[in-house]
């Protein structure tokens, strides 16, 4: 990757100037696991970080078939029309497997991709959820530094990735289909409770009435489940564009309100600290797991714990002592 022989300043300045090609290269650098690139990436990131933070960060999720990318493209085009600059990123740890991953299909969001005020980036391929999420966070900082003021982070409706995305966005939009049948089975426990706004998709044609009924049902259900804030439920159609403007309005209302009270700023500060601790935890577990003196006992230990022969507390203490060389 010869482009990375540029000094960090070339990338930093290019991103700050809003150059989409340099932005794309910079994100590719962030995604590289090549040890030579890590130091450069760190320098570039450190240079960009002070220029990040000026965007509405929105997580968007929903099961496959809910019409996620069509809706995101619709929202993106609307936003561009309103004078915003929109970046679309994705967190999809399954994208290394070939099963219909998000934005894997190159024909998706074609129209939005062509706009100069939009930037569409598929999920980094490969890696653990933690790795993919970390690289998406870094990409988000780069996009913000490049002047994009709305970041849409797309994710698959499988639970774990939503929790990861919740830690990097300001708000979460949950897309739902009409009908309470099999289509809904894919939504995992807990996702409903992450949502700040719910949108029923494909509310057009014959589906319109059903969508309105679903909207009311979710509104009632959410009133019973969610006491931390009122969760707007809207119907939308990417086909005819209905509902997209009210959806954006309600998102910007939340954004402006939380900016005014300072809640947004405080949440982001807490997200940074949480992220630090997540990385510490992940790093500690990695180093623990792969320490030879621990690894050599792991299979045996886990088997004993599973069978109930060894109490988890004793097993944990024993391995921890080996790891830190205390007692034993």
**Footprint on this chain of a copy of itself (rule: CB under 8 A):** 42, 45-46, 49-50, 52-53, 134, 138, 180, 184-185, 187, 189-190, 192-193, 217-218, 220-221, 223-228, 269, 272-273, 275-276, 279-281, 283-285, 287-288, 301-302, 305-306, 308-309, 311-317, 319-320, 323-324
Nearer to a copy of itself, 109 or 175 (CB): 175
Nearer to a copy of itself, 15 or 248 (CB): 15
Contact indicator for 192, 231 with CB cutoff of 8 Å: no
Contact indicator for 101, 64 with CB cutoff of 8 Å: no
Nearer to a copy of itself, 97 or 224 (CB): 224
Nearer to a copy of itself, 16 or 192 (CB): 192
**Sign of the torsion formed by the C-alpha atoms of 307, 312, 314 and 316:** positive
Q: How far is the CB of 150 from a copy of itself (least distance, A)?
A: 20
Q: How far is the CB of 110 from a copy of itself (least distance, A)?
A: 33
Q: How far is the CB of 122 from a copy of itself (least distance, A)?
A: 22
Contact indicator for 70, 203 with CB cutoff of 8 Å: no
Taking each helix axis from N to C terminus, what angle separates 129-145 and 20-31, rounded to the nearest 10 degrees? 150
Contact indicator for 61, 172 with CB cutoff of 8 Å: yes
Tokens of 66: 């809910």
**Sign of the torsion formed by the C-alpha atoms of 140, 57, 118 and 54:** negative
Q: How far is the CB of 227 from a copy of itself (least distance, A)?
A: 5
Nearer to a copy of itself, 45 or 248 (CB): 45
Q: How far is the CB of 297 from a copy of itself (least distance, A)?
A: 12
CA distance linking residue 243 with residue 252, whole number of Å: 14
């Amino acid at each position: 990757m010869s482009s990375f022989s540029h000094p960090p300043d070339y990338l930093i300045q290019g991103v700050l100037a809003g150059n989409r090609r340099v932005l794309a290269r910079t994100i590719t650098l962030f995604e590289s696991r090549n040890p030579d690139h890590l130091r450069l990436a760190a320098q570039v990131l450190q240079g960009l970080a002070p220029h990040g933070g000026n965007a509405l960060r929105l997580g968007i999720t929903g099961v496959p078939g809910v019409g996620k990318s069509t809706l995101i493209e619709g929202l993106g085009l609307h936003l561009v029309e309103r004078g915003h600059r929109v970046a679309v990123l994705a967190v999809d740890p399954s994208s290394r497997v070939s099963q219909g991953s998000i934005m894997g299909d190159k024909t998706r969001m074609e129209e939005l991709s062509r706009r100069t005020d939009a930037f569409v980036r598929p999920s980094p391929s490969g890696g653990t959820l933690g790795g993919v999420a970390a690289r998406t966070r870094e990409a988000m900082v780069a996009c913000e530094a490049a002047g994009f003021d709305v970041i849409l982070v797309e994710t698959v409706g499988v639970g774990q990735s939503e929790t990861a995305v919740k830690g990097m966005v300001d708000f979460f939009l949950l897309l739902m289909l009409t009908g309470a049948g099999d289509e809904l089975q894919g939504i995992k426990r807990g996702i409903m409770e992450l949502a700040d706004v719910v949108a029923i998709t494909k509310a057009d044609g014959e589906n319109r009435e059903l969508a309105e009924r679903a909207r009311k049902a979710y509104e009632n259900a959410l009133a019973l489940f969610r006491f931390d804030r009122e969760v707007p439920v809207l119907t939308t159609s990417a086909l005819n564009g209905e509902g997209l403007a009210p959806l954006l309005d309600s998102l910007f209302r939340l954004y402006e309100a939380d900016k005014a009270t300072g809640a947004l700023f405080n949440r982001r500060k807490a997200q940074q600290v949480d992220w630090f601790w997540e990385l510490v935890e992940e790093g500690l577990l990695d180093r623990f797991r792969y320490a030879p003196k621990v690894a050599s006992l792991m299979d045996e230990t886990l088997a004993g714990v599973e069978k109930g022969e060894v109490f988890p507390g004793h097993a944990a203490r024993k391995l921890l002592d080996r790891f830190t060389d205390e007692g034993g």
